[in-house]
Each structure stands twice: as structure tokens, then as C-alpha cells.
Amino acid sequence: MTVINRLKARIRDVQDFPKPGILFRDLTPVLEDPALFADLVEAMVGPWRDSGVTRIAAVESRGFLFGAPMALALRCGISLIRKAGKLPHKTIARSYALEYGEGVLEMHANTVGPNDKVVIVDDLLATGGTAAASAHLIHDCGAKVLGSAFAVELAALEGRKKLEGRVEALLRY
């Protein structure tokens, strides 16, 4: 069975979470299966092996779970993109639209620089607002965004249209 079929079989659909009318794609069962988790990370790494990536930008919080092993496999650094007020050093910030309001993302001001080639990593691509805001933060530091990597994409929401560079999603709903 392919990693995509195994992934489909393990993702849990949760109706009306976090609010009524939302179908939440829960990747927790994937993380609980060590063989599937390892194969998923390897599949996410594959498209970037020869890209020259120097840094993974992992988006809070589930992006950390996929970004850290990807950075290890690619032998590159990892930079954290977090909600406002969570990082201890000097930060830069970017506001972005949420379906129910506005959010703010931050990253350390010196975590990437002009020589970096960055891949943004998160678990799921929905509307693309978080990944697009992350790309702006990376550009604000002078680095280049090679693209983005996701385990899952909700294709009907057309989030990839907001993103630059290569967009890789292993499973598209």
C-alpha cells in the first residue's frame, strides 16, 4: 500500500470541530504510527532533496512536527514561525486574515538571511493565509522562499493560489 493510501486510511475526520460546519482532518493517528510517520516525512522531503534548501520554516504548531524531521533529513537548519508573543528574542511580525478574524505570526529577526533558501512547512494547507504570511516574514529578512510543503491540502479552498514557488502536498482532498 502506498504512503498516500496509508495516509488516507489513518486520517480521522472530525465533524463540527473546532466549530459547527467544519470538517477537521485530524493527523494525530498518523503521528501515532511510527512507520507511517517516517514514510510521510520521507515523502515530504523527496521533492526538496536537490533544491539547495538551507532552512525549513516550520509553522506553529503542527508544522514543527513535520518540519523538524524534514530539516534533519535535508541537513539544514530550522526556523520557527509562531503566534505573537511566543519567541524570546527580537522578532518581526506579520498580520494575516483568518476566517474568523486576524492573526499575527512572528519569527526571530535573525533566523534567516539573504543567503537562505527556505521551504515553509505545515501539516495542512487550507486557505493559504498562514503560509503566505510566513513567506512575507521570510522575505522581510531578505531570504528566498523556494516553496511550501504540506502533508495534506484542502484543494477546494484554493490556498495554493496565495503561495509562491513550488507547492508540494502529499494528499489532496
Which CATH number belongs to the domain containing residue 109 in this structure? 3.40.50.2020
Helix or strand run (H / E) with residue 102: strand 101-108
Instruction: Examine residue 161 and state whether it is found in any structural domain, yes or no.
Output: yes
Among 159, 147, 57, which Cα is nearest to 106's? 57
Q: Could you give the number of structural domains in the chain?
A: 1
- How far apart are alpha carbons 41 and 140 in whole angstroms? 28
- How far apart are alpha carbons 142 and 155 in whole angstroms? 30
The residues with which 119 forms a beta bridge, in sequence order, are: 56, 147
- How far apart are alpha carbons 40 and 27 in whole angstroms? 11
In this prediction, residue 142 carries a pLDDT of: 97
Instruction: Examine residue 38 and state whether it is found in any structural domain, yes or no.
Output: no
Instruction: Examine residue 96 and state whether it is found in any structural domain, yes or no.
Output: yes
Instruction: Examine residue 6 and state whether it is found in any structural domain, yes or no.
Output: no
Strand 91-98 and strand 12-15: the pairing is unpaired
Instruction: Report whether 55 contacts 67 (CB < 8 A).
Output: no
Instruction: Examine residue 87 and state whether it is found in any structural domain, yes or no.
Output: yes
Instruction: Report whether 41 contacts 49 (CB < 8 A).
Output: no
Domain residues for 149? Answer: 52-172
Strand 77-83 and strand 101-108: the pairing is antiparallel
Q: What 3-state DSSP class applies to 13? A: strand
Provide block-wise average pLDDT over 10 residues at a time, the chain (173 residues).
96 94 94 98 98 98 97 98 97 87 93 98 96 97 98 97 97 96
Catalytic site positions: 62, 99
